Amino acid sequence: MTVMNEKVHAYKDQISHLEEKLPEVVHAYHRFTGECFQAGSLDAKTKQLIALGIGLFANNEVCTFYHVDEARSKGASDQEIMETIAVAAAVGGGHALSQGVTRVQNALQ
């Protein structure tokens, strides 16, 4: 089992423990996310790539691993996954830059 699989498996194991204590919370979360990831105007692959980009931006290792695997299972190519990384990097850099030129410059005045 790879490190990626171990971490995703550990998450799933831990959520099952939470389900024992708060079953309705876990079931509601799974219903909500399941509905959100259904194909609609955006196909399931695109939704997984978006989730991957957000997981990277949020520095969430488990989500990053999980959504790489899910994106692949929905037909994403390695190139599409790598382009998603580039977009997340651009957004992350843009986020820091936009905050720097607005908040920080205002604080310096």
pLDDT digits (tens, 9 = 90+) for 57-83: 999 999 999 999 999 999 999 999 999
Mean pLDDT, the chain, rounded, equals 94
pLDDT at residue number 89: 96
- pLDDT above 80 (res 1): no
Please name the residues in contact with 76: beta carbons below 8 A apart, sequence gap of 6 or more. Answer: 45, 48, 49
Per-residue pLDDT reduced to its tens digit, 8-45: 889 988 999 999 999 999 999 999 999 999 999 999 99
Q: In whole angstroms, how far apart are CA 18 and each of 13, 15, 23?
A: 9, 5, 7
